[in-house]
């Protein structure tokens, strides 16, 4: 289990990137992990079809919050199509640890929130 909390994961958890909310975001979505009730919200603005600003907020475990922080960094400057193309494997790669099944939903919650927000935007 200690392998799960590698330095970069703890760094993102302790010093989350892009934490907060946006006033009137072009895309916004909040969703929970039904297994634990933890919630992640992602807000983003687009400029010329690319992410110009992004924030996340929520309450969650180390893995879900670190994943959200890493995801917001990864999508800056990306197009909608590029964000839609992000797969579960991309998140696992960012986290860089072997996740036990109980933690997979935690890791993927932010990506699910992002994809739901993009789908609802249409
Ligand atoms: Fe709730 Fe991880 S335990 S998101």
In the chain, domain spans: 2-121
Two structure tokens written together for 87? 């797969």
Q: What are 84-107's pLDDT values in tens digits? A: 999 999 999 999 999 999 999 999
Q: What is the pTM of this model?
A: 0.94
Least Cα distance to 57 among 6, 16, 8 occurs for: 16
Fold of 2-121: Sufe protein. Chain: A (3.90.1010)
Which pLDDT score is estimated for 87?
98
Whether 38 lines ligand 1, by a CB cut-off of 6 Å, is yes
Q: What are 12-58's pLDDT values in tens digits? A: 999 999 999 999 999 999 999 988 999 999 999 999 999 999 999 99
CA of 25 to the centre of ligand 1 (A): 25
Nearest CA to ligand 1 atom 3: 61
């Amino acid at each position: 289990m200690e392998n799960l909390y590698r330095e970069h994961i703890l760094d993102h958890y302790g010093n989350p990137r892009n934490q907060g909310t946006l006033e009137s975001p072009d895309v916004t979505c909040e969703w929970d992990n039904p297994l634990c009730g933890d919630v992640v919200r992602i807000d983003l603005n687009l400029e010329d079809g690319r992410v110009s600003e992004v924030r996340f907020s929520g309450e969650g475990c180390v893995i879900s919050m670190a994943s959200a922080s890493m995801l917001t960094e990864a999508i800056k400057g990306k197009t909608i199509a590029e964000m839609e193309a992000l797969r579960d494997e991309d998140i696992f790669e960012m986290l860089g640890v072997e996740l036990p099944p109980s933690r997979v939903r935690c890791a993927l919650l932010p990506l699910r929130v992002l994809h739901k927000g993009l789908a609802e935007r249409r």
